[in-house]
């Protein structure tokens, strides 16, 4: 901080001894040391605050850049979504004009094997390529049960579940 050598410190010490005297010199030196320590801590805190503010300004710049990128991305997505919606509306309109104004209600189609069996039981029409090929055992295997249902079935069948041993 200061460019003070040993000879300058010795001169300051001799002058302080002459001016203050031998009784008050230790007390003044102790007080000066405490004040110098406070000054160093204060300077360190100011430096840390300045560095924190500089980092925050850097982060705020990055945050603004990211927010602008997000806004431009959202705007692009909305533009594309609007274009797709407009295209879909045009296709629906042209399909409605070519087929006519009478629309047949959509027929439900089963998606999985369980749905195929359920649809067959309910008398719903199946697609030409979909044929139920599962047996009753396979159908039961495809169904999912909650842990409570599984435990209840095990209890009904007389199967004991392993118990934890507490120590």
Q: What is the pTM of this model?
A: 0.35
Spatial contact of 110 and 130, defined as CB atoms under 8 Å apart: yes
Cα(142)–Cα(137) distance, rounded to whole angstroms? 9
CA 117-151-134 angle, to 5 degrees, is 20
Spatial contact of 119 and 110, defined as CB atoms under 8 Å apart: yes
- Work out whether the CA dihedral 21, 24, 29, 31 comes out positive or negative: negative
pLDDT of residue 132: 52
Spatial contact of 116 and 130, defined as CB atoms under 8 Å apart: yes
pLDDT of residue 94: 84
Q: Residue 152 corresponds to which tokens in the numbers above?
A: 């209840």
Cα(38)–Cα(45) distance, rounded to whole angstroms? 10
pLDDT of residue 62: 86
Give 76-141 as a DSSP string: HHHHHHHHHHHHHHHHHHHHHHHH-S--PPPPP---SHHHHHHHHHHT----TT------HHHHHH
Question: For every one of its 167 residues, what pLDDT tens digit does the chain have, with 9 covering 90 and above?
Answer: 567 889 998 998 899 889 988 899 999 999 999 999 999 999 999 999 999 988 888 888 888 899 999 999 999 999 999 999 999 888 888 877 766 555 555 555 445 556 666 666 777 665 544 555 555 555 565 566 666 677 777 777 777 666 666 65
pLDDT of residue 138: 57
DSSP H/E element including 71? helix 25-99
Cα(7)–Cα(18) distance, rounded to whole angstroms? 17
pLDDT of residue 35: 96
Spatial contact of 140 and 115, defined as CB atoms under 8 Å apart: no
pLDDT of residue 54: 87
């Amino acid at each position: 901080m200061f460019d003070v050598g040993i000879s300058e410190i010795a001169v300051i010490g001799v002058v302080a001894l002459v001016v203050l005297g031998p009784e008050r010199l230790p007390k003044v030196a102790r007080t000066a040391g405490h004040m110098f320590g406070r000054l160093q801590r204060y300077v360190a805190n100011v430096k840390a605050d300045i560095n924190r503010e500089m980092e925050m300004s850097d982060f705020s710049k990055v945050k603004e850049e990211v927010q602008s990128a997000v806004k431009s991305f959202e705007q692009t997505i909305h533009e594309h979504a609007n274009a797709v919606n407009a295209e879909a509306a045009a296709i629906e309109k042209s399909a409605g004009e070519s087929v006519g104004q009478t629309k047949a209600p959509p027929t439900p189609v089963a998606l999985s094997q369980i749905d195929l069996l359920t649809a067959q039981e309910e008398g719903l029409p199946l697609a030409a390529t979909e044929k139920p090929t599962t047996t009753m055992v396979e159908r039961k295997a495809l169904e999912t049960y909650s842990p409570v249902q599984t435990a209840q079935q095990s209890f009904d069948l007389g199967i004991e579940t392993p118990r934890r041993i507490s120590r």
